[in-house]
Amino acid sequence: MKRIILSTILIIRTILCFAAKIPAWIDNPESVYPRETYIARTGSGFTIENAKANAMAQIAEYFGSQVVVSTEATSSMRNNGKETQKEQELNQNVKIFSEKNLSAVEYSESFYNKKKKTYYIAAYIERTTFWQYVENDLLEAENKYKSMLNFAKKTNNPVLRYKYLKKAKQSGNEYIQLLSEGFLVLPEKKKEFRTIISDISSNEELESLYSTHVTFKIQTEGDYENFISSKVIEAFKQNGFIPVANNAQSLLRIVINSNKKTADEITSIFPEISIILSDNKKDEIYFTYQNSWGKTSSFSLPQAQKKAFPTIAEELKKELAVKIEEAF
């Protein structure tokens, strides 16, 4: 009887010895990956890939929940003795945890809980390694910021100056955003970057963008009741351009070719549009856009244009607004 009991105990002990030990990081990742050195999160799922994705989502959430990506500033100014209020609003929709930084993430060995039929895995980032990835992006953003600012200072062309200042502003914002991300990982780095943060945040030339506009005069050909031209102008106005009758800094040419074809008393058009923003002498081109649309038919050219142009105009406005912003 004693032998049976002893054998049973030995068997149980053997099973316990060979049973998978539950890793400490499942309930407390910092017990294995200390906070001073790592950022670690545990993920779970019915497959290893699900567990990885869950762990990665929690890492990304750590960054996303702690970085402020929307900044609002309000300032007042006096102009000719009158008080005017201008609101300066900067909305950055920045993807906090960029794909470039995914390569900084490492994973533990997975653990499978048979009872719960669930896989567990820890995702972790070594802080100094992550900073190296951030540093590479910082160098790229800083170089772009400085080069665009330098171009803006050298040119006397108001349109190009506006373009370079906007690009410098965008790169400066990106730089500060990257620093915010990096400081979450290594807060002690803040002292090293105080000077450039101050330069970007308080640069008078960049701040002048809020009160700077580029003026343009308009030349239109082939439009019907200004359906298309009006929407094109709206797209430019959204990006800081203002139409004027005299003393314009640039020329906006809008050419619409309906490509009319008539058969059996039915008129069909195949619209093509060309948009060019240039200097007044047409020597220097700042922005170009071309597009074409399919057939629209009606009983006359004006009717076909009236049928097609409003839809084209709305589509064009949305697309142009994005392309102009990218160009400037």
**DSSP states along 167-193:** HHHHHHHHHHHHHHHHHHH-GGGGGGG
The reported pLDDT for the residue numbered 181 is 82
Whether 160 and 151 have beta carbons less than 8 Å apart is answered as: yes
| pLDDT tens-digit series, residues 269-320 | 999 999 999 999 888 999 999 999 999 999 999 999 999 999 999 999 999 9
The reported pLDDT for the residue numbered 308 is 96
Q: How far apart are CA 69 and CA 64, in angstroms?
A: 9
HEC profile of 82-105: EEEEEEEEEECCCCCCCHHHHHHE
Distance, C-alpha 198 to centroid of its chain: 23
Residue 295 domain-assigned (yes or no): yes
| pLDDT tens-digit series, residues 118-132 | 999 999 999 999 898
| pLDDT tens-digit series, residues 155-212 | 999 999 999 999 999 999 999 988 988 888 899 999 899 888 888 888 877 777 767 7
Whether 313 and 227 have beta carbons less than 8 Å apart is answered as: yes
State the average pLDDT over residues 315-326: 94
Which has the minimum average pLDDT: 49-63, 76-90, 311-325? 76-90
Residue 100 domain-assigned (yes or no): no
Instruction: Please check whether residues 202 and 275 belong to one and the same domain.
Output: no
**φ/ψ of residue 118, rounded to 5:** -135, 140
Whether 249 and 158 have beta carbons less than 8 Å apart is answered as: yes
Residues of the chain with pLDDT > 70: what percent?
Answer: 81
Q: What tokens appear for 145 in the block?
A: 């910021």
Higher-confidence residue of 282 and 217: namely: 217
Query: Domain of 276: which CATH number?
Result: 3.30.160
pLDDT at residue 106 greater than cutoff 80: yes
Residue 123 domain-assigned (yes or no): no
Instruction: Please check whether residues 234 and 196 belong to one and the same domain.
Output: no
Closest C-alpha to 293, from 306, 308, 310: 308
pLDDT at residue 140 greater than cutoff 70: yes
State the average pLDDT over residues 76-95: 34
Query: Which residue range forms the structural domain that includes residue 223?
Result: 213-327
Instruction: Please check whether residues 301 and 228 belong to one and the same domain.
Output: yes
Length of the chain (residues): 328
Q: How far apart are CA 170 and CA 300, in angstroms?
A: 48
Closest C-alpha to 260, from 297, 292, 230: 297
Residues of the chain with pLDDT > 90: what percent?
Answer: 59
Residue 64 domain-assigned (yes or no): no
The reported pLDDT for the residue numbered 149 is 92
The reported pLDDT for the residue numbered 281 is 87
Whether 282 and 271 have beta carbons less than 8 Å apart is answered as: no
The reported pLDDT for the residue numbered 62 is 82
Q: Where are the beta strands (DSSP E) in the chain?
A: 38-45, 70-79, 82-91, 105-107, 111-113, 118-126, 214-221, 241-243, 250-257, 261-263, 266-269, 272-278, 285-292, 296-298
Whether 121 and 211 have beta carbons less than 8 Å apart is answered as: no
Going by pLDDT thresholds of 50, 70 and 90, the confidence category of residue 20 is low
Higher-confidence residue of 197 and 65: namely: 197
Instruction: Please check whether residues 218 and 321 belong to one and the same domain.
Output: yes
Whether 250 and 159 have beta carbons less than 8 Å apart is answered as: yes
Which has the minimum average pLDDT: 63-77, 152-166, 234-248? 63-77
Residue 320 domain-assigned (yes or no): yes
Average pLDDT, the chain: 83
pTM over 0.85? The answer is: no
Residue 271 domain-assigned (yes or no): yes
Residue 17 domain-assigned (yes or no): no
Residue 167 domain-assigned (yes or no): yes
pLDDT at residue 25 greater than cutoff 80: yes
Instruction: Please check whether residues 145 and 165 belong to one and the same domain.
Output: yes
The reported pLDDT for the residue numbered 77 is 32
Whether 97 and 14 have beta carbons less than 8 Å apart is answered as: no
Q: Total domain count for the chain? A: 2
Angle at 204 between CA 201 and CA 210, to 5 degrees: 90
Higher-confidence residue of 159 and 68: namely: 159
The reported pLDDT for the residue numbered 98 is 53
